[in-house]
Amino acid sequence: MNNQSHTKKQLPHEIISLFPRPVYKTNIQRKFTKQEYDEFASIITKDLDERASNQFKRITTDKYLLKRKSLSAIRSFIEQHLNEFCFSSNLLGMNKTKISCNITTSWLNLFEPRAFNPEHNHRNSILSGVLYIRCLELPDNKLDGINFHGNGTEDFYSSSEMFHHIDLPITHTTKFSATSFRIPVDVGDLILFPSTLRHSVDLNETTDQTRISMSFNTFAFGELGDGDTSEVILKQGKL
């Protein structure tokens, strides 16, 4: 009897990642200045909507905060990384000679105790982003975070318990089979993502902390298309 152990030969194959949706993460790598904190405090004091009982969070009534001179350094930081994401990294295949990606709306979010944000995406936008100004201090040194979700119930993985039930011994959750991902965030983190990508924010279960973030949308301006019948030329007006 041959006692020699046999190892299973791996079959030749390749994994092709179809239709990936990249999410970009960086950090401002500095503390917010006193001028910036003073502006945030002023906005929170004077410019927040009144949260009704059916609202999940509070946001500013001014939806163009990044036009403020006091926040110009933050805007420059965001624009630098938008440019990297859109053009320099070659992740999105956008043509810098024909189009630009510009910030449109921008606003503050306040997540007081018991506040959260349900799963949603952003309309009338190409890329969206979030800059974290204050994060929650969670137990066991766990970082605050943002959740990104798959396509919904029509997606094969989300409709089959085989792939996302972590107790099943036959498999484990991977980036191909997971129906959602949580990205941990800290103060100063900037997250950029396609505006169609659905996302949510967990319930603030603390009793005395408030999460503060700045969200924004973008849109493309310039020559869209290659001179065919689908061509659209969009000139940026006053936002």
> What's the pLDDT score for residue 55?
58
pLDDT digits (tens, 9 = 90+) for 140-150: 989 999 999 98
pLDDT top residue among 51 and 58: 58
Whether residue 67 is predicted with pLDDT greater than 60 in this model: the reply is yes
Distances in Å between the alpha carbon of 212 and those of 114, 157, 186?
14, 33, 11
Residue with tokens 């972590």: 166
Euclidean distance between the first and the last CA atom of the chain, given in angstroms as a whole number: 81
Question: Which of 44-48, 72-76, 80-84 bottoms out in mean pLDDT, i.e. has the lowest?
Answer: 44-48
The whole-angstrom separation of Cα 189 and Cα 161 is: 34
Model confidence at 28: pLDDT above 90: yes
Q: Determine the Cα–Cα distance for residues 132 and 70; give it in Å rounded to an integer.
A: 17
Residues 6+ apart with CB under 8 A from 165: none
- Predicted TM-score (pTM) of this structure: 0.85
Nearest to 118 by CA among 1, 228, 199, 217: 199
* Sheet (strand 117-120) strand order: 117-120, 199-201, 144-149, 180-185
For residue 228, is pLDDT > 80? no
Is the pLDDT at 128 greater than 90? The verdict is yes
Judged against a pLDDT cut of 70, whether residue 114 lies above it is answered with yes
Q: Which fold, 24-136+185-224?
A: Jelly Rolls (2.60.120)
